[in-house]
Amino acid sequence: MASERLKELLNRAIAREIQVAIQYMWQHVRATGIESLEAVDRLRTIAIQEMAHAEEIAERLDYLGGVPTTQPAPITVGESLDEMIRNDIAAEEEAISLYREIIRLAMEEGDYTTEQLFKRILQDEEAHHDEFLKMAGR
């Protein structure tokens, strides 16, 4: 079965997925101004995708004999849309780094299912990162 290190990383992934699901949903609610009109719909959609990721990872961790966390990583909503998007870019960069580490470790352990799960989720996170970069004008 999975190493304790891999189980720990999966719980970190769950915590950050819960974090961003809450963070993006709250930003969806709190963003104001004409420039936020397009962003709020995307924030809501991405928040829902992130919660689905949390569920998938929790199911995998449970299967591997771990206990999924219910605690989110620290949530940073931000005051302005610009600050919100900067926070979101940073959150996605953290996810990308963590998920690459999980993929590498899963490959080393021969855990092909976890590897494939995180390769798919990584594609979503990179797409979210790209979308937030575009929102920020980068």
- What is the number of domains present in the chain? 1
Domain at 126, CATH number: 1.20.1260.10
- Domain with 70 in it: 4-135
Find, among 24, 138, 124, 128, the residue nearest to 76 by Cα. 24
Largest Cα separation within the chain, whole Å, is 51
Where do runs of H (alpha helix) occur along the chain? 4-30, 37-63, 81-109, 112-135
Query: Distance (Å, rounded) from C-alpha 10 to C-alpha 88?
Result: 20
**Residue 18 above 90 pLDDT?**
yes
Q: What is the pLDDT of residues 37-82, one digit of tens each?
A: 788 899 999 999 999 999 999 999 999 999 999 999 999 999 999 9
Per-residue pLDDT for 124 more than 90?
yes
What b/e string do you get for 74-106 counting C-beta neighbours within 10 Å, with b at 16 or more? Answer: eebbbeebeebbebbbebbebbeebbebbbebb
Average pLDDT over residues 80-107: 97
